[in-house]
A and B are shown apart, each in its own frame.
Chain A
Amino acid sequence: MIETENLTRKFGNLTAVEDLTLKVDEGEVFGFLGPNAAGKTTTVRMLCCLIAKTSGKARIGDYEVGSEADCLAIRKMVGILPENVGLYDSLSAYRNLDFYGRLYEVPAQKRQENIERLLKLLGIWDRREDAVGTFSKGTKQKIAIARALIHDPQVLFLDEPTANLDPEASKTVRDFILDLKKEKHTIFMNTHNLDEAGRICDRIAILKTKLIAVGSPEDLERGTAGRKTVVHLESVTDPVLAAVKKLSVVKNVRTSENKLIIDMDNPEKDNPQLVRAVVKAGGEVQFVTELRSSLEDVYLKLVREAEAQ
């Protein structure tokens, strides 16, 4: 649904996005992670035809990003939730959505149905005639999401959808995104919230001007930090440690209190051999668990590496 090839954007001497190549499939929830000024918003703006690309290619569906002729078609098929909600405070929730529905050329009957459906889904229908200025930040965010969906877009760009929201409002927005995922919307989500990205996204890309990594949250967690098996023992003794170190499948071993933390490439295959060696050396095994790196660890490691380069 979304494809970019060496997509680059420069502002004078400053390169905001460099050689970005990625592919987002239809119905996928794609997380775009990166520190501030990593180029996330610039990428979204380029894909929505709001700003021009300096070089490279990008397509959304059958349309070429940057082509004058295709820009209106792209804008019609995408919905965008910018970082700032940008609603008209003096107008009602209904009037805000109706205005955008009309600009997106949604027929009157369908527009009315969509507004009612979205506002009911987000629990704001009873306050539809209230001025948006009277709403809380979370409610405004919900209305902004409804605005992005008013024309049933095939692709949805969400820029920090839960930024500055309290935990309850964040949860509502997150649940709503998960509902949209079920409806097979393609969602491209910029976020700083790693936990949220891990829970919602099918795949995640980490950007720091250049694309650093891309994959499912699980793949990133495994691939970057390696896999570790933790053996909890009654006590760690020298013969047990020596026996483990002797194993060729063990890449590295360290101890922490009464635990052995062992780096291995293929724990599913090698753990039985490991446990046998520990038991044979007189170790009393209490538990065997897997130690996973969190997405946060992976993110920090990759971003720091990119910064160091």
Chain B
Amino acid sequence: MRLWKAWIVATKDLSMFRKNKYILYSLIAMPLLMGILLPSIAIFSLQTEAAALTAAQLTATATLLINLFTSYFAIIAAILPTILASYSFVGEKIEKSLEPLLATPTTDGELLFGKSLASFVPCVGATYIGAVIFTIIIDAWSTINLGTTLVPNEYWAIVMGAVTPLVCVLSVEANVIISSRVNDVRAAQQLGAFVILPIILVMVFATTVQTIPLVTMALILSGAIAIADVALFYLSKATFQREEILTKWR
């Protein structure tokens, strides 16, 4: 696979996304909202409890709550690709540009990787913007009230550095596969939302398991998702049929 070819496909899609304000707004809305809402909820809860807790207890409770909320950003990274990746091939079908694109000397892998990259970069970028806002607000509160910054911590680093991008890749791949097999954006988005449900459930389950330390759980989860990412990429290559896409699309 020639990565530079995939990058050509990706940059074209990225410049098209940039020109579509509705996509941009819906992409940035959720991470922004969560970046403000989650720390606000955390601060409100902690302030309510603060009087009844010692400083050490408050720090421990705050860390627990913030770690839980940090996990939500990985869930956001799983949800956002339903906006972009679901459009990847359906968009080409709607613009009727699929035939000339498939006629170019580009392999299935290059096309799929390029389409995935074009969805991954903005989705993970928007998630990080939300996470940065979250971190700034939390740290501002903790510096004033606890005299220390709570994030980044070890768990935050693993979630942001590994789980979030890996889960985003998984969701992107699933949505790209769906996009190549349906003819309508709404169908792609609905099916996309359906397939990311198991991903979200696994994420929620992982954060609630008490028997394994959070950091260990995050590492296990990263490994499992990485394996799933690779498997899904090969599955998407195997199921990507130019002929079927061309002849079954009306």
Would you call B100 an interface residue if the criterion is a C-beta within 8 Å of the partner chain's C-beta atoms? yes
B97 touches A87 (CB 8 A): yes
Q: Which residue of A lies closest to B7 (CB)?
A: A102
Report chain A residues within 8 Å CB of B216.
none
Contact A103 B95 (CB under 8 A): no
Q: Which of B96, B103, B243 contacts A85 (CB 8 A)?
A: B96
Interface residues on B, range: 20 to 34
Is B181's CB within 8 Å of the partner chain A? no
Mark A60-92 against chain B: 1 for CB-CB distance below 8 A, else 0.
000000000000110110101010111111110
Q: Given A72-B107, A90-B16, does the pair A51, B246 have CB atoms closer than 8 Å?
A: yes
Residues on B with C-beta less than 8 A from A105 are: 105
Q: A86-B97, A88-B97 are in contact. Are A104 and B243 (CB under 8 A)?
A: no
In contact, A84 and B12 (Cβ under 8 angstroms)? no
Nearest CB of B to A268, in Å? 47
Residues of B with C-beta under 8 A to A89: 95
Q: Is B15's CB within 8 Å of the partner chain A?
A: yes
- State whether A72 and B105 are in contact (beta carbons under 8 Å apart), knowing that A11-B247, A91-B15 are contacts in the complex: yes
CB pair B95–A80 under 8 Å, yes or no, is no
Chain A residues positioned under 8 Å from B186 (CB to CB) = none
Given A75-B105, A80-B103, A104-B105, decide whether A99 and B19 contact each other with a Cβ distance below 8 A. Answer: no
Query: Are the CB atoms of A82 and B100 closer together than 8 Å?
Result: yes
| Chain B positions 100-145 with a Cβ under 8 Å from a chain A Cβ | 100-107
CB within 8 Å of B: which of A76-134? 76, 78, 80, 82, 84-91, 95, 99-100, 102-105
The answer, yes or no, to whether B153 is at the interface (CB within 8 Å) is no
Contacts of B226 in A (CB 8 A): none
Binary per-residue interface labels of chain B (157-176) against chain A in the complex, 1 for a CB within 8 Å, 0 otherwise: 00000000000000000000
Structural contact, A76 and B105, CB atoms closer than 8 A:
yes
* Given known contacts A82-B99, A103-B5, A88 and B12 CB-to-CB distance under 8 angstroms: yes
Enumerate chain A residues within 8 angstroms of B8, measured Cβ to Cβ: 99, 102-103
- B8 (CB) vs chain A CBs: closest residue: A102
CB-based nearest A residue for B102? A50
Q: Considering the chains assembled together, what is the distance between the CA atoms of A102 and B101 in angstroms?
A: 12
Whole-angstrom distance between the Cβ of B240 and the nearest chain A Cβ: 14
Q: Which residues of B contact A88 (CB under 8 A)?
A: 12, 16, 95, 97
Name the one of A50, A90, A102, A103 contacting B20, with C-beta atoms under 8 angstroms: A90
For the complex, is A228 an interface residue (Cβ under 8 Å from B)?
no
Q: Which residue of A lies closest to B12 (CB)?
A: A99
Q: Shortest Cβ distance from B104 into chain A, in angstroms?
A: 4
B100, A100: Cβ atoms closer than 8 Å = yes
* Min distance, Cβ A87 to any Cβ of chain B, angstroms: 7
Q: Is B30 an interface residue (CB 8 A)?
A: no
Instruction: Confirm or deny: A210 has a beta carbon within 8 angstroms of a beta carbon on chain B.
Output: no
Residue contacts A-B, CB under 8 angstroms, 9 given = A50-B243, A75-B105, A84-B96, A86-B95, A86-B99, A86-B100, A90-B16, A91-B15, A103-B105
Name A's B-contacting residues (CB within 8 A): 11, 45, 48, 50-52, 72-73, 75-76, 78, 80, 82, 84-91, 95, 99-100, 102-105, 144, 147-148
Which residues of B are interface residues toward A (Cβ below 8 A)?
Answer: 5, 8-9, 12, 15-16, 19-20, 95-107, 242-243, 246-247
Known A73-B105, A88-B12; further 18 A-B contacts with Cβ < 8 A? A48-B103, A50-B242, A51-B243, A52-B243, A72-B105, A76-B105, A82-B96, A82-B103, A88-B16, A90-B20, A91-B12, A91-B15, A91-B16, A100-B104, A102-B8, A103-B8, A103-B104, A144-B100
Across the A-B interface, the 10 shortest Cβ-Cβ residue pairs: A86-B97, A84-B96, A103-B104, A76-B105, A75-B105, A82-B99, A51-B243, A86-B96, A90-B19, A72-B105
